[in-house]
A = this chain, B = another copy of it.
Amino acid sequence: MKRLIVGIDIGGTGTKLGLVDSLGEVIIEEKISTTGEHTFAEFITTLSKIVKQWLLAYPDYEIAGVGVGAPGGNFYTGCITDASNLPWKGSLPLVELLTAELNVPVVLSNDANAATMGEMIFGAAKGMKDFVMITLGTGLGSGIVTGGRLLIGAESLAAELGHVLIKGKGGGRACKCGRKGCLETYVSATGIKRTYLHLLASQGEQSRLSAVPFDQLEAKDIAQAALDGDEIAKKAFVTTGKILGRQLANMVSIVNPEAVFLFGGLASAGDLIFEPTKKYMDANMLNIYKAEVKILPSQLEGANAAIVGAASLVYQYEQDSKEVLA
């Protein structure tokens, strides 16, 4: 019997789900509104109905499990906890409710960990045992694989690289977390906008983006301006890569990865972000690391990346189960 895994990516507005085969292909998918249901239990019922219909439509397949990526998703408790951008508050028992409906193993983690497992099982990190994934969106998420397994931490809260403080003596940009100087206030779609504005303010040079209101400015506009030769936009990318590269040199000292993957919107700026990041990572790296640490684009980009990543979490569950039985 062929194996399929259900991948579910829960986001603030939309939730995507799909059936993923053993090659990482999504054979059927659907998208529902995250905010369309009144209660979390109703939301789970809606998801379950879709999956049950798929099971009827694919009788020759066995469902090996369900992997779910969600903000605040806790690997150990199976609950989504205090996700500020979801419509439900408190601790949401996702694994308990979905298991009761579908009667297969359900694995929950956050979206950055889902992307990380996706890269290892189906993407460019296939065969790697030690790597770091950086997801660049509105904020900066990350996932770490060491010795072939996801670094989860004592409370399922590891790999919050976006909230590493990068200023030696405190200070730095205000972060939504309430502190100052977090890496994601510099390195993210929002961070590069702030850097661009800072450069515009301090350098007084002309920039073709000066006419765009700040709340309409997007990271991709800065990328396009940089490609077109705008000096301030180019400097914004160099500054961003310099800060990221320096922090990646520190990450190398802690987890000694074979490669670092960049995923998400800002990563699609290509050389604009990869070149300064690599340059400053190498320049700041401790000399004992002789093997080159590669900085690579994720190969999970695309509409289905989140579904495939979520489905991949089931592989971590299967690895753990095998060891418990050993």
Q: Does residue A104 face the partner (Cβ distance < 8 Å to B)? A: no
Q: Which residue of B lies closest to A249 (CB)?
A: B165
Query: How far does the alpha carbon of A172 sit from the alpha carbon of B284 in the complex, in Å?
Result: 13
A interface SS class: loop
Count of chain A residues near B, Cβ 8 A: 51
0/1 interface trace, chain A 141-156, chain B, CB 8 Å (1 if under): 0001011010111111
* Distance (whole angstroms) from the CB of A100 to the closest CB of chain B: 27
Residues of A within 8 A of B (CB): 82, 129-130, 144, 146-147, 149, 151-161, 163-168, 170, 172, 177-179, 181, 246, 249-251, 253-258, 284, 286-291, 322-323, 325-326
Known A147-B149, A179-B286; 17 more pairs at CB < 8 Å: A129-B154, A146-B151, A146-B152, A146-B158, A147-B151, A154-B257, A159-B256, A160-B256, A161-B253, A161-B254, A165-B246, A165-B249, A167-B168, A168-B172, A170-B246, A178-B287, A251-B254
Question: Can you offer 22 A-B residue contacts whose CB atoms are under 8 A?
Answer: A82-B288, A129-B154, A130-B158, A144-B254, A146-B146, A154-B256, A154-B258, A158-B255, A158-B256, A160-B256, A160-B286, A163-B253, A164-B250, A165-B250, A166-B168, A168-B172, A170-B246, A170-B284, A177-B286, A178-B287, A323-B323, A325-B326
